[in-house]
């Protein structure tokens, strides 16, 4: 199973825990699912997040 699918399922499972409460929780489920996909893509190496993660160099 690719890391993207694992990330998506992890995000959706975390959202399901919180999604017992209506439209707001549904939106939270979508956001957490999207975060899971982005994390999975970063783990697979399909997207490069090093520019966002690394800070500015000193000096």
pLDDT digits (tens, 9 = 90+) for 3-12: 888 888 877 7
Are 43 and 7 within 8 A, CB to CB?
A: yes
Using alpha carbons, select from 36, 31, 32 the residue that is nearest to residue 7: 36
Q: Is 19 a domain residue?
A: yes
The answer to whether position 27 is within a domain reads yes
Write the pLDDT tens digit of every residue in 17-54: 676 777 777 777 778 778 888 888 888 888 887 777 76
User: How many residues would you count in the chain?
Assistant: 59
Look up the domain containing 14 and give its range.
3-46
Query: What are the tokens at 39?
Result: 């994390």
Let me know: does 19 contact 28? Beta carbons within 8 Å. yes
Q: What is the pTM of this model?
A: 0.61
Q: Does residue 41 lie within any of the structural domains?
A: yes
């Amino acid at each position: 199973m690719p890391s993207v699918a694992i990330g998506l399922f992890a995000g959706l499972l975390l959202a399901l825990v919180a999604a017992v409460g209506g439209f707001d929780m549904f939106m939270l489920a979508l956001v957490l699912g999207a975060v899971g996909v982005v994390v999975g893509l970063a783990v697979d190496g399909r997207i490069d997040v090093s520019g966002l993660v690394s800070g500015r160099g000193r000096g």
